[in-house]
Amino acid sequence: MAALVVRGVRDMLKRADFATVPRRQRHKKKWASTEPKFPATRLALQNFDMTYSVQFGDLWPSIRVSLLSEQKYGALVNNFASGDHVSAELKQLKARDFVNEAIFHREPEPENSQTVAPSPASWACSPNLRCFTFTRGDVSRFPPARRGSLGLMDYYLMDAASLLPVLALGLQPGDTVLDLCAAPGGKTLALLQTGCCRNLAANDLSTSRTSRLQRVLDNYVPQDVRDKNRVRVTSWDGRKWGELEGDTYDRVLVDVPCTTDRHSLHEEENNIFQRSRKKERQMLPMLQVQLLAAGLLATKPGGHVVYSTCSLSHLQNEYVVQGAIELLDNQYSIKVQVEDLTHFRKLFMNTFSFFPSCQVGELVIPNLMANFGPMYFCKMCRMT
Ligand SMILES: C[S@@+](CC[C@H](N)C(=O)[O-])C[C@H]1O[C@@H](n2cnc3c(N)ncnc32)[C@H](O)[C@@H]1O
């Protein structure tokens, strides 16, 4: 498998070399006018059938049907807005706070357990997050969020698996935090809900998407928290962050652009499988490596990074992690260590279905009983 990983990274880097070919020497393929026009959603399904049936084998048919079915949401309670009545109302709907259930009501490890004690870093979850989901097999929906007495919305609806990268980042009080690809802002909001950010830099290359992020902050976060130089929203190219603010942050979230597998099967608009976006799609793993490398360079030695995607693709997940770690070692002599999240995965196994064979990181796979994800996340520590 290690050889496969290295070969995958090498292929990816080779493909990226294409970018250095001068434009005049590039050959542009002409499409025949009779060529049938397939919707991007169908092209996405064809692509996934080809690659994921190999990657997941017997598991693919069940992942496929789940991806094509309606997804489940979680309601992230807005700690800035509510007293306990929102949680009480969500409980009345028979939803449960999966975060606190996992952390405070977990089964004790058997005394004669052979498993090695996890390192404190992999064990620590970001605190103060409350997120309600319906139980396995219950496909009820949450009513839309409402504005509370303080004028702030009471909860934020998101794929509950999107909270896992934030939980895994393990924020500590007083942390300086960077969210490198932040818009539209679900994870930024969750980072703020922990109450741990001394300051938070939320960045996204797209200005229209940073406007959406700003609207989320306006609707969910009180002005004094937004104003006090604590939250900075920028629209820079995240790949430059290592040069802009190297060795600066305690925690960095790198939630990269990817093939957004579920979206690509359901929405024509902004679909990365449109023919016109083929090159962009092929270049994704290279962009992802560059963004992760920049995130690692922006982290203080001893600090932590979580890399995440909402794709099932090994090429965009574990290969990217391996590629970025190799790049930091070769070009900057910086050592990065992947953290074992086995213990973290066990905490949340009642709520999510995890792919059992990831080489590095964890992958939530869609399942009809728990139709969240896909969500890949990998936690790293910058050692030097
Ligand atoms: C998966 S989305 C992020 C979702 C977000 N973290 C959330 O939870 O709402 C990836 C984002 O990366 C942004 N992006 C793409 N290229 C980028 C770059 N070079 N630098 C920074 N952001 C980039 C896209 O605009 C997109 O909003």
Range 248-256 average pLDDT: 98
Q: How far apart are CA 304 and CA 251, in angstroms?
A: 5
Tell me if 130 CB under 6 Å of ligand 1.
no
Instruction: Kindly indicate the confidence band of residue 223, based on its pLDDT and cuts at 50, 70 and 90.
Output: very high
Residue 231's Cβ-count burial label (10 Å; 0-12, 13-18, 19+) is buried
Amino acid sitting at position 112 = N
pLDDT in tens, 294-330: 999 999 999 999 999 999 999 999 999 999 999 999 9
* Confidence (pTM): 0.89
The CA 325 to ligand 1 mean position distance, Å, reads 21
Residue 82: what pLDDT?
A: 67
Range 9-20 average pLDDT: 47
Residue 32: what pLDDT?
A: 53
Tell me if 285 CB under 6 Å of ligand 1.
no
Select, from the ranges 78-87, 106-115, 217-226, 289-298, the one with the highest average predicted confidence (pLDDT): 289-298
The CA 264 to ligand 1 mean position distance, Å, reads 16
Structure tokens at 21: 């070919």
Residue 17: what pLDDT?
A: 42
Q: How far apart are CA 355 and CA 369, in angstroms?
A: 15
Tell me if 379 CB under 6 Å of ligand 1.
no
Name which of 132, 171, 126, 134 is nearest 154 in CA terms: 132
Tell me if 165 CB under 6 Å of ligand 1.
no
Range 154-164 average pLDDT: 98
Residue 251: what pLDDT?
A: 98
Residue 5: what pLDDT?
A: 46
310 catalytic per annotation:
yes
Q: In terms of DSSP bridges, do strands 155-158 and 74-77 run parallel, antiparallel, or are they unpaired?
A: antiparallel
Tell me if 95 CB under 6 Å of ligand 1.
no
Tell me if 298 CB under 6 Å of ligand 1.
no
- pLDDT higher than threshold 70 for residue 25: no
Residue 23: what pLDDT?
A: 60
Give, using CA atoms, the residue closest to atom 1 of ligand 1. Answer: 257
Q: How far apart are CA 378 and CA 220, in angstroms?
A: 28
For all residues of the chain together, what is the average pLDDT? 90
Substitution candidate for ligand 1 out of 204, 254, 375 with most atoms within 8 A of CB: 204
pLDDT in tens, 53-84: 999 999 999 999 999 999 999 999 999 996 77
Range 111-137 average pLDDT: 75
Contact 182, 203 (CB under 8 A): yes
Range 233-261 average pLDDT: 97
Range 107-130 average pLDDT: 65
**3-state SS, residue 97:** strand
Q: Which residue in 125, 310, 378, 381 is the catalytic one?
A: 310
Amino acid sitting at position 279 = K
- For the annotated binding site, the residues are 181-187, 204, 237, 255
Substitution candidate for ligand 1 out of 158, 169, 205 with most atoms within 8 A of CB: 205
The CA 281 to ligand 1 mean position distance, Å, reads 14
Residue 84: what pLDDT?
A: 79
Per cent of the chain over pLDDT 90 is 81
Residue 13: what pLDDT?
A: 44
Residue 30: what pLDDT?
A: 58
Give, using CA atoms, the residue closest to atom 6 of ligand 1. Answer: 182
Is the N-terminal amide bond of 184 cis, ω within 30° of 0?
yes
Q: Which range (5-9, 194-198, 258-262) has the least confidence?
A: 5-9
The CA 117 to ligand 1 mean position distance, Å, reads 35
**3-state SS, residue 244:** helix
> What residue has token string 């070399």?
17
Contact 258, 311 (CB under 8 A): yes
Residue 119: what pLDDT?
A: 55
Q: In terms of DSSP bridges, do strands 249-255 and 231-234 run parallel, antiparallel, or are they unpaired?
A: unpaired
Residue 28: what pLDDT?
A: 60
The CA 256 to ligand 1 mean position distance, Å, reads 5
**3-state SS, residue 315:** coil
